Chains A and B, each alone.
Chain A
Amino acid sequence: MPREDFENNLKVVQDELIQLSSMVEKAVFKSIDALRNRDINASQQVIDDDDAIDEKQQDIEDKCIELIALEAPMAGDLRVIISVMMMATELERIGDYAEGIGKISLAMGDLPPLKPLIDIPRMSDLATDMLRRSTEAFINRDTALATSVRDDDDVVDELYHQVYRELLTFMMADPSTIQRATYLIWVAHDLERVADRTTNMSERVIWLVTGQNPD
């Protein structure tokens, strides 16, 4: 087979991207789970684990740059490498949001819970599901699945506004809730950004497959 070595290296970076996606998905899930259970240790773990995500992203980027420099990839190969690099960057940022949620959780410390968390875990479930699907769309080069991820971004946005309005009401009714409510708005905002970044990933998949940027 022509360019066997290149083919192998191309597969390696894609496999690593899938691994990175799985690490990041777990980080987001754990950050919300720890927040909900008020588990400070688990939150700290999410923060500590972010280093591994950063390293993985850097490693993928280095490998992609090396492939571009040494193999002069063209057309579909070029789009694969660029997509992997761009998607790895998105994933690294999503990891940072999970880390941010971990830090908010630590900052909340032993403040009494403001309210049971309902919409925030829903946002998290949806955002991690979007992340899973955009990775699956990448693996299977599935533009229809990637498009469905884009559509779900609107749902996350709506949930975010709903959370925001609800917490604003809490704050107006009782200023002593401002600190706790603000923390939760930050969490919701981070999750909204997770969904945005995931949407970018799915758009990248569409470009990878078609060579065209989606509208």
Chain B
Amino acid sequence: MADSTVISVKGLNVYYEDFQAVKDVDMEIKRESVTALIGPSGCGKSTYLRCLNRMNDLIMGASIQGEVLFENRNIYDSNVDATEIRSRIGMVFQKPNPFPKSIYQNIAFGLKVNGFSGDMEEAVEKSLKQAALWDEVKDRLNDSAFTLSGGQQQRLCIARALAVEPEVILMDEPASALDPIATLAIEDLVRELKTDYTIVIVTHNMQQAARVSDETAFFMVGEDRSGYLVEQDDTQKIFTNPTHQRTEEYITGRFS
């Protein structure tokens, strides 16, 4: 595993009961970069993403084979604490899901749960600044998180994920429920965050993948309905001259 690799996936298969959702994926995810996962609905990209921090543990009937090496350690080893993994590999979901609490408490809550003992106000401010939300909320930290717009709520969720100082952030369609302006704000944020974090983002919006990511991985769904990785390459290469015909067909919209 090269030094630049933070997560290395080897021969990953994912099942929901008898159904194989993801087949035989190998992938290296580079440190402090943005990797976009694209592909048609049902190609297993979200399922795959959830495997990277053991979110699938929480889904009934889900099981995996293969390895997900995070900093050289298989996160599925029996002696690994899934909660610890999830604090080091955070996640942001499609729909903003702030807690029904104040803006401040949304950030502080996760820190408390993780036994944070430092200066809470400072930590909250730092996370909100990192998520480019501080200036918009600094005078209303005690307002309910639900008073924020959708785009702000999503940035709050990103701030919440950042608060516990993860190394990797997984984003599952983080902008699909937002309007174009809020979407661009999230995209700007993703580009800024990659200087300190590794980001893996699932998106249906190919322009978004093209705009924000350094590498793009294209997933397809096979005849047996299992998802598989077709190719992973530099984003520039994928969108100007992909290696595989299937990728070309998908990104040029000739996919049937």
Partner of A2, one of B240, B241, B247, B256: B256
Interface residue? B248 (CB, 8 A): yes
**Could you say which of A35-43, A70-78, A119-127 contacts chain B?**
A70-78
Chain B residues with a Cβ closer than 8 Å to the other chain, count:
16
Interface residue? A63 (CB, 8 A): no
Per-position 1/0 for A74-86, Cβ under 8 A of B: 1111110000000
Contact B254 A3 (CB under 8 A): yes
A78: nearest chain-B partner, CB-CB? B240
Bound form: Cα–Cα A160–B206 in Å:
49
Bound form: Cα–Cα A26–B197 in Å:
59
Partner of B252, one of A76, A210, A211, A212: A76
Bound form: Cα–Cα A75–B252 in Å:
7
Contacts of B79 in A (CB 8 A): none
A108 to B: closest C-beta gap in Å = 48
Contact A73 B252 (CB under 8 A): yes
Interface residue? A186 (CB, 8 A): no
Bound form: Cα–Cα A75–B255 in Å:
14
Q: Number of residue pairs across A and B with beta carbons under 8 Å?
A: 38
Contacts of B238 in A (CB 8 A): 75
Bound form: Cα–Cα A75–B238 in Å:
7
Q: For residues 1 through 23 of chain A, which have their beta carbon under 8 Å from a beta carbon of chain B?
A: 2-3, 6
Contacts of A72 in B (CB 8 A): 206-207
Contacts of B230 in A (CB 8 A): none
Contacts of B239 in A (CB 8 A): 74-75, 78
Q: For residues 165 through 215 of chain A, which have their beta carbon under 8 Å from a beta carbon of chain B?
A: 210-212
Interface residue? B251 (CB, 8 A): yes
Bound form: Cα–Cα A73–B256 in Å:
17
Interface residue? B150 (CB, 8 A): no
Contacts of B241 in A (CB 8 A): 75-76, 79, 210-212
Interface residue? B242 (CB, 8 A): yes
Interface residue? B253 (CB, 8 A): yes
Contact A75 B253 (CB under 8 A): no
Contacts of B255 in A (CB 8 A): 2
Bound form: Cα–Cα A3–B255 in Å:
10
Contact B240 A79 (CB under 8 A): yes
Contacts of B247 in A (CB 8 A): 75
Bound form: Cα–Cα A211–B251 in Å:
15
Bound form: Cα–Cα A78–B207 in Å:
13
Bound form: Cα–Cα A173–B202 in Å:
76
A137 to B: closest C-beta gap in Å = 19
Partner of B253, one of A2, A79, A212: A2
Residue of B239, B242, B248, B254 ringed by the most chain A CB atoms within 10 A: B254
Contacts of B256 in A (CB 8 A): 2
Partner of A77, one of B206, B207, B210, B252: B252
Per-position 1/0 for B219-256, Cβ under 8 A of A: 00000000000000000001111100001100111111
Interface residues of B (CB under 8 A from A): 206-207, 210, 238-242, 247-248, 251-256
Interface residues of A (CB under 8 A from B): 2-3, 6, 72-79, 210-212
Beyond known contacts A77-B252, A78-B239: 19 more, CB 8 A cutoff = A2-B254, A2-B255, A2-B256, A3-B252, A3-B254, A6-B253, A74-B206, A74-B239, A75-B239, A75-B241, A75-B242, A75-B248, A75-B252, A76-B252, A78-B240, A79-B241, A211-B240, A211-B241, A212-B241
Q: List 12 A-B contacts (CB under 8 A).
A: A3-B253, A6-B253, A72-B206, A72-B207, A73-B252, A74-B206, A75-B238, A75-B239, A75-B241, A78-B239, A79-B240, A210-B241
